[in-house]
Amino acid sequence: MTPHKIDLTLAVHNHQPVGNFDFIIEQNYRDSYAPFIQALEKHPRVRVALHYSGYLWDYIKSQHPDFLDRLHKMVERGQIEMLGGAYYEAILTVLPERDAVSQQSLLKKEMEEYSRHPVEGMWLAERIWEPSMPGIIRRGGYGYTFLDESHFHAAGIPSDGVWGIFRTEDRGDTTLIFPIDKALRYAIPFAAPEKTIDTLEKMRNSGRKLVTYGDDGEKFGSWPGTFKWVYQDGWLENFLTKLELNSFINILLPREAAEAHQPRRTVYLPCASYEEMGEWTLPAETQVDLHHLKEVLTCAGFKERVVPYLRGGFWRQFFAKYREAAALYQRSLRVSDKVAALKQKRKVDLEVVKQAEKCLYKGQANDAYWHGVFGGVYLPHLRSAVEKELILAETICGRELRKSDSTDKYNPQAVVWENAELRVQIQPNLGGGISALDIRKAGFNPVDTMARYREPYHTRMMEAAEKGQTANNEHASIHDRLVVKEEGLVQKLAQDAYPRYCFIDRFLKPEFSLDDLQYNRKVEAGDFAGAEYRRENNAENLISLSRKGSIADKPAALKKTFRAEPVKLGLKADYQLTGNLSGLKNYWFAPEFNLNLLAPCADDRFFLINGVKFAGNNLGGRGDRSDVKMFSLVDDWLGIRINLSASLPARWVWHPVETISLSEEGIERVYQGSAILPLFRIADIGKIPVTVELTLEYWKPVV
């Protein structure tokens, strides 16, 4: 009897985030996308399903049309199957269904027009699954998708049962699922080709009929160290040759596999993603405990029987973990409602609707909403890019729709002011700070400063530093590498107990250093920063907030009244401090402004004092001066100037806010913005109220 062959389905997902720098996308194109296709061209028997997210696809169409011509020839000869998905790689489970369906339909239409073939399969962004997905996939026009082995473990299915094709449904809507084999996902391209072929043969001998590989295309050249390994050292050429020459491996495109193989069974999967993502959603302490537990169980011989069923959380928990991600998400929901209302309006220009819709969809791109081994929400240029699109979409809608309410149903505790130029959002529940200051025509929110959170890799970094460990396996998966890109980062670790907004009210001890202030080393004397304020009144251009708290354990009360300045394009805050202030005269009252113009060392972004440049005036610098009448931040590239001033003489201090965060290159400092604080002696403001003002200028409107 002739031994059966094993059918192998290969799927490669290529993606670049909205807002990524063109030079980075180009580098990925040269290191991954182009050489991968060039290698496949020489091996026509190796057949692959390819997914390109819409933002990357648009870039390739614009910059490398010859690549699309070469790819199309491979489609025509039956070597490539094009996959669809959400056009801008949104997490479909958290979108309003109207947007989830439209995003899928857009990419399906694009890929069908390009390939001139029906597009039946889709790539699910980050493989984020919730039980309602079958209906969303069906309404998007697709019949199958790809999920990880860990999804099936979450449903209690052991590894040796996760192969073939599965069927799932939700309220009558069905879809097929190709389970991605974990062993293949980790082996390709990090193990020697011979070992991967041996793994496939063992799978065949165990009775498996169909196995699926699916993962990121950037693994083939763009991940650290992989270009040399995959191309220069010949890994990919060797692997493709072995696939072609092996008689027991039969490579099928997913659409062929779906016809050749009946679903093995119906399965119902809980909320899940790939294994690493589930861990990343957890709080830092829980992640560390989970890793330790897995190590203990593995050493005790339970790696196969127990460890696969230990799982983390699910994707939505990032909105609880990172306040900045939650704010972006709330914004996206609000803007989606406005775009939906615009589409329902009579006598509206369809091109205007398309423009608003496109901005909304780009603003839903997933990368800026979470964090794992890639920078994600910690990367200011990604947050700013999606925020820009959402601001522009809201601005377009605002021109066509009636003025919205001063409340936001997705953030009901916020107080909102808005006009044609600005949208200001105040959070009485979070220190009475300004959480957003949208400069509408510029599509920019300068108050977008990421706070510093504890992360599990901080623990790994400290443990490695104690042991003197620095080296890593150059062929290790990106998930297993630990590279610290700068000495001394352990000493720069800090956590923020409050959000990094503007007009955050701090009280500081009499003596402190800039290091103490920058790294939160016991300088706080009050309990006002980030605390809840009571709203006293709210007029059209005025809101008063108050709080009873303490300074150095002495009772005190602070009242601040915001006044909108529509003519000057800005805000004033009048402060009045009362209470038992005796003994506190040398303490400082320090309203904090956190502002982010994105580039700490660029020549076209800088500080001014009293309208004049000074030594060390780059945004990544810090200082301490008492001759300031006006402190300004200037961005000549965006065409924005932000001016800060006070009614009383003050000592002004400033420093960068930097996270110690992980990206694919390693652990590094990332500039999140600049903290600027005018300092007033309590002895002074206890007698005379103080006014602090923020005004804006801009001269390069986008819309």
Find the range with the poorest average confidence among 110-124, 159-173, 574-588.
Answer: 574-588
Indicate where the chain has its CATH 3.20.110.20 domain(s): 6-273
Residue pair 396/356 in contact by the 8 Å Cβ criterion:
yes
**Tens digit of each residue's pLDDT (9 = 90 or more) over 295-352:** 999 999 988 888 888 889 999 999 999 999 999 999 999 999 999 999 998 888 999 9
Q: Write down the mean pLDDT value for the chain.
A: 93
**Tens digit of each residue's pLDDT (9 = 90 or more) over 184-233:** 999 999 999 999 999 999 999 999 999 999 999 999 999 988 999 999 99
**Tens digit of each residue's pLDDT (9 = 90 or more) over 242-258:** 999 999 999 999 999 99
- For residues 489 and 205, what is the distance between their CA atoms, to the nearest angstrom? 50
- For residues 562 and 573, what is the distance between their CA atoms, to the nearest angstrom? 4
- pLDDT given for residue 460 in this prediction: 86
**Tens digit of each residue's pLDDT (9 = 90 or more) over 677-689:** 999 999 888 788 9
- For residues 678 and 548, what is the distance between their CA atoms, to the nearest angstrom? 22
Domain topology for 494-698: Beta-galactosidase; Chain A, domain 5 (2.70.98)
Indicate where the chain has its CATH 2.70.98.10 domain(s): 494-698
- pLDDT given for residue 480 in this prediction: 53
Q: Reply yes or no on whether the pLDDT at 67 is more than 90.
A: yes
- Asked if 351 is an active-site residue, the reply is no
The single-letter DSSP state of residue 93 is G
Exposure of 245 in the CB half-sphere (CA atoms within 13 A) = 9
- pLDDT given for residue 481 in this prediction: 57
- pLDDT given for residue 475 in this prediction: 42
- For residues 8 and 188, what is the distance between their CA atoms, to the nearest angstrom? 14
Taking phi over 0 as left and psi of -120 to 50 as alpha, with beta for the rest, 639 belongs to left
**Tens digit of each residue's pLDDT (9 = 90 or more) over 346-373:** 888 999 999 999 999 999 999 999 999 8
- Asked if 540 is an active-site residue, the reply is no
Q: Reply yes or no on whether the pLDDT at 476 is more than 60.
A: no
- pLDDT given for residue 538 in this prediction: 72
Q: Reply yes or no on whether the pLDDT at 98 is more than 50.
A: yes
* E strand or H helix at 256: helix 254-260
Q: Identify the active-site residue in 7, 31, 99, 126.
A: 126
Residue pair 149/181 in contact by the 8 Å Cβ criterion:
yes
**Tens digit of each residue's pLDDT (9 = 90 or more) over 603-613:** 999 999 999 99
**Best CA proximity match to 18, nearest among 363, 411, 270, 503:** 363
**Tens digit of each residue's pLDDT (9 = 90 or more) over 72-88:** 999 999 999 999 999 99
- For residues 583 and 155, what is the distance between their CA atoms, to the nearest angstrom? 63
The residue-averaged pLDDT of 371-393 equals 96
Q: Identify the active-site residue in 58, 112, 170, 216.
A: 216
- pLDDT given for residue 419 in this prediction: 87
Domain topology for 6-273: 7-stranded beta/alpha barrel (3.20.110)
**Tens digit of each residue's pLDDT (9 = 90 or more) over 126-174:** 999 999 999 999 999 999 999 999 999 999 999 999 999 999 999 999 9
